[in-house]
Structure 1
Amino acid sequence: MKSRLLLLIVIVILGQCTPKSTPKRPKSSSSNEVLYPKREFRAAWVATIENIDWPSRKTLSSEQQQQEFTQILDSHKKTGLNAVFVQVRAASDAFYARSTEPWSEWLTGAQGKAPEPFYDPMRFMIEEAHNRNFEFHAWLNLNRGTQKNAKSVSKDHITKQKPEWFVSYGGYQLYNFGIPAVREYIQELVVNIVRTYDVDGIHFDDYFYPYLVAGETFNDAATYKKFGRGFNNIGDWRRQNINLLIKDISKAISEEKKWVKFGISPFGVWRNASTDKLGSPTEGGQPSYDNLYADTRKWAKFGWIDYIAPQVYFSFDHPKVPYLPLVNWWEENHGNRHLYIGHSVYKVDKDSPEKSWRSAGQIGKQVRSNYTSDEISGSIFYSTKHLINNNLGISDTLSNIYKYQALLPTMPWKDAIPPNSPVELEVKRADNSGAFVSWKLPIRISRDKDEIRSFVLYRFEEGEEINLENPRNIVSIIRNVGLLNFVDRNISKKKSYFYVITALDRLHNESSPSNQFFLK
């Protein structure tokens, strides 16, 4: 009897320690009703290197840069997105003021030159993103000292200050991650951003050790000889260097600000099953593990990252790496962390050599397919300019899918305590056929003293089930800027409604609903 009781206690404790999956969508009472997830991560990459997405030219004024970025956010919001990944460090440079690295040439035209008139781009971008209820993730390139065949490098650039830290390869100057001081330097750059800016996340893409260049060798043999004790081959040593970097950065972020997320977007294929029985049923290249020395599967499994977003840039009918089998593999291999899928909207082109990409239907099919899985928590699209340009109607396709607003997924391993409920909800008919909604904060905001970042207002027609899990009932997600009111302009004079409101904290934990208010 005592052993059974002990077993029960252990099971309960383990259940409390294991993060629970966020429900993907409400249960349908009708087989004809199309339901969408209430919580979904919907993001786009904003690439700055070579002026891919923003700013569109090196010659833009500060005002033009700001205007262009707000237009990007407004366009993404119209599409239905709720987060952006902005590349703020492209080649050991900076798109932000509080950096030890020089200003980026792709911001001002010359490396080291500050914006004129002066402003802090990242601070501006974060404020504008948050004003629209977007998460802002700072995207840093990890391995690039200088861009390929760089001609103009400022005298205070790290490649000039610490040339012994770099390996020339493929026309680039790339960090030698086997040197402990290199890893410490990159970690401090990350911590500085987390400490100084109100970012929601830190993001790395697929660049660790470099992709192979035919006829060239990444010459870190001397470093391996010096620091490779205990490793029988250089590949395992390189992987350990990246493992240490990721693990240490993860710990440093959490110690600085517990709510800041950390995630990686690796090349889609970890390894093929023909090479490794743990790999995916694919036949494509497998640079992530074998060439980039990034054991991304391990990072997710051990919880060193908060999400993994594999770049599944392949169509459903790709002959060697079809979309669905690879996604299914990641569903089984993302550990207990969020899985987002990276989508290649840049491939959508009427002249694409692949027939599947000659319409926006391929992306639409992929996103809808993701909805059949409770393991997938969202999508990220590369890159912004292709969404802005609405190539073959890709943004129209997505806005049709993202027809309802979505809350971002929770991360219970970081914070599972919701705020307390708003109180004294009241609704009055307005003269212009709308409704004026007001409420008050709870006396005590939350048990963990976390602030309320936004509110979720729900509306139901008289006689309709009060179901907070169906996103079609969300009127608006309202940023908490101190004005505890909202005007709902999309109601009929001839109908009566029930309203409720909830509160969200920094990590999107949702309170219980307020009092219901019936509007006749």
Structure 2
Amino acid sequence: MLKYLLGVALLLTGIFGRAKAQLPPKREFRAVWIATVENIDWPSRKGLPVETQKQEFINLLDKHQRNGMNAVIVQIRPAADAFYDSPFEPWSEYLSGVQGQAPNPYYDPLRFMLEETHKRGMEFHAWFNPYRAVIRNASANHISRMRPQWFVNFDGKKYFDPGIPEVREYVTQIIRDVVRRYDIDAVHFDDYFYPYPVPGREFGDNNSYRQYGRNMMKDDWRRWNVDTIIQMVSKMIKEEKPWVKFGISPFGIWRNKNKDLDGSYTTGLSNYDDLYADVRKWLQNGWIDYVAPQLYWERGHRVANYELLLNWWAQHGYGRNVYIGHGVYRLRSNAAWSMPNELPVQITEVRTLNTIQGSAFYSAKSFNGNPLGIEDSLRNHFYRYPALRPAMPWIKLPTPFPPYFTDAFERADGLHLHWADDDTSGRTQQYVIYRFNASESINLNDPGKILAIVQQMPDPQFIDASYVKGTLYTYVVTAMNRLQMESWASDPLYMRQSGRRTQFIFDPE
């Protein structure tokens, strides 16, 4: 144990010292969770007018775009209900205040959220809770009333019984409907599989165990049930739209070392033994595209030390993407989380490990008031420059053809840039514009040189409002597909001074 701790300390100390001199990552996942259950983040309360709901969501996007986020994880099915026009499940009570009541005047919140998110070049991860069904009351057409035999009452709530095959089929069908009808970028599950244990209470699935137990030990059978739905959802997503990602944000401990030699040096609750979620297996088998473990503890925590868990997950991604979930809501909650450097150090440590590709923050409203200057840290330091989202090379999607500059001219509001890409296949979703001083070598790996990420448009153009007349620059543009994989770079747009006039050179030959 001591040898392991010393190894981690040396690793973090060694790389930490070099981190300041390194370029920030060009590719990094930067996401915020937007929880809708109990109106945690959005809408701020039930029954708001439609226009107020829309404006609140726009404000959230604008705020977190300024914070540097390039993705949002939005809860669209908190309790077998819907933040979209579902043919299977009722409208969520967290919209109108009454489950089953459509927005009035009508709009489809998911379609609206997708449009606003994509307009800003951000990814939209549709967050489903697969098993939670009823928190308080259910409408007459709620599935818990129509199929009461599928549900278990536990700790004052109703849950789908994961052991019933029809439940797995039903939940997969719900998600298939959204993948098929909406332009989402990812399907996202959080940490709620079998419910968290409650002392003195047992999850009442004895009937389904007797009927479907497959001669397995009960714990193994429960894990098999969860494995099976993960496999089913994964297969379905890739059948419908191969580019849609599947991600899980589990509780931060897979398994403790005292139960499994491959576990972490922790002594807390675990996914494997308590929630029956063998997340490691899902990564090993390639059933999920990313994992975002919720490491909501501080460094040095007695039961679950952030740094030990960070190191554990860095070693157990099995080639899939690993993003770290940070608990912004913990700020000022105790002495450790009242230290202004706790979260910044955590983010810095994430960046020292090349098998971890970014961060997600819980949750959106926790940034209100800029606690301990966290928004300042993101905007002015960590996320000062934009980042493309991490690659997923196992998802095959053709890259666009390289664009080329067609015109440039000076105006009072800046330099107007025009380009074309001859893309008739619909591959191009965005463009990246790079700017270098004329004396600099072209290095497309430096995110500090990204001038803008621009949405695809019929006549692509951009106004460089920071252009300084008389200063010579070099511009380069690339095209990106929906996974943000870049084309080859355009020929550079060079500038030279001819007397008092600036000449723009499009073709180096």
Match of residue 35, structure 2, among 28, 36, 47: 47
Q: Which amino acid aligns with 1:415?
A: K
Aligned to 1:162: 147
Aligned to 2:256: 272
Q: Which amino acid aligns with 1:372?
A: T
Query: Alpha-carbon deviation of 1:322?
Result: 1.2
Aligned to 2:432: 456
Paired residue secondary structure (2:110): helix
Distance 2:20 2:378 in 1: 21
Match of residue 496, structure 1, among 472, 488, 491: 472
Q: Which amino acid aligns with 2:365?
A: K
Aligned structure 1 segments of 4 or more residues deviating by more than 6 angstroms: none
The residue correspondences of 1:64-463 to structure 2 (distance < 5 A) are 64-147=52-135, 150=136, 152-231=137-216, 233-286=217-270, 288-349=271-332, 352-353=333-334, 355-400=335-380, 401-415=382-396, 417-432=398-413, 434-442=414-422, 444=423, 449=425, 451-463=427-439
Contact 1:388/1:395 (8 A) holds in 2: no
Aligned to 2:463: 487
Paired residue secondary structure (1:380): strand
Distance 2:474 2:407 in 1: 11
Structure 1 stretch displaced more, 412-421 or 55-64:
412-421
Query: Alpha-carbon deviation of 1:319?
Result: 1.7
Query: Alpha-carbon deviation of 1:316?
Result: 1.1
Distance 1:333 1:119 in 2: 42
Distance 1:32 1:330 in 2: 23
Aligned to 2:14: none
Contact 1:425/1:517 (8 A) holds in 2: no
Distance 1:338 1:51 in 2: 30
Q: Which amino acid aligns with 2:292?
A: A
Q: Which amino acid aligns with 1:268?
A: G
Distance 2:301 2:482 in 1: 40
Paired residue secondary structure (1:94): coil
Distance 1:319 1:399 in 2: 32
Paired residue secondary structure (2:357): strand
Provide the TM-score with structure 1 as the length reference: 0.90
Contact 2:405/2:493 (8 A) holds in 1: no
Contact 1:425/1:515 (8 A) holds in 2: no
Match of residue 509, structure 1, among 466, 482, 485: 485
Query: Alpha-carbon deviation of 1:425?
Result: 4.3
Unmatched tracts of structure 2, length 5 or more: 1-17, 497-509
Paired residue secondary structure (1:486): strand
Query: Alpha-carbon deviation of 1:359?
Result: 3.8
Q: Which amino acid aligns with 2:120?
A: R
Structure 1 stretch displaced more, 185-194 or 368-377:
368-377
Match of residue 451, structure 2, among 475, 486, 509: 475
Distance 1:291 1:282 in 2: 14
Distance 1:360 1:183 in 2: 44
Distance 2:483 2:426 in 1: 9
Contact 2:300/2:307 (8 A) holds in 1: no
Structure 1 stretch displaced more, 408-417 or 507-516:
408-417
Contact 1:422/1:503 (8 A) holds in 2: yes
Task: Name the Cα RMSD after superposition.
Answer: 1.4
Residue deviations 1:170-222 (CA, integer Å, cap 9, x gap): 11101101100000000000100000100000000000011101111111111
Count of matched residue pairs: 478
Q: Which amino acid aligns with 1:272?
A: N
Structure 1 stretch displaced more, 67-76 or 324-333:
324-333
Distance 1:37 1:230 in 2: 50
Contact 1:72/1:388 (8 A) holds in 2: no
Query: Alpha-carbon deviation of 1:31?
Result: 9.3
Distance 1:245 1:44 in 2: 26
Paired residue secondary structure (1:381): strand
Contact 1:191/1:252 (8 A) holds in 2: yes
% identity of equivalent residues: 46
Distance 2:142 2:305 in 1: 42
Distance 2:373 2:366 in 1: 10
Contact 1:136/1:200 (8 A) holds in 2: yes
Query: Alpha-carbon deviation of 1:417?
Result: 3.4
Q: Which amino acid aligns with 2:373?
A: G
Query: Alpha-carbon deviation of 1:323?
Result: 1.0
Q: Which amino acid aligns with 2:118?
A: H
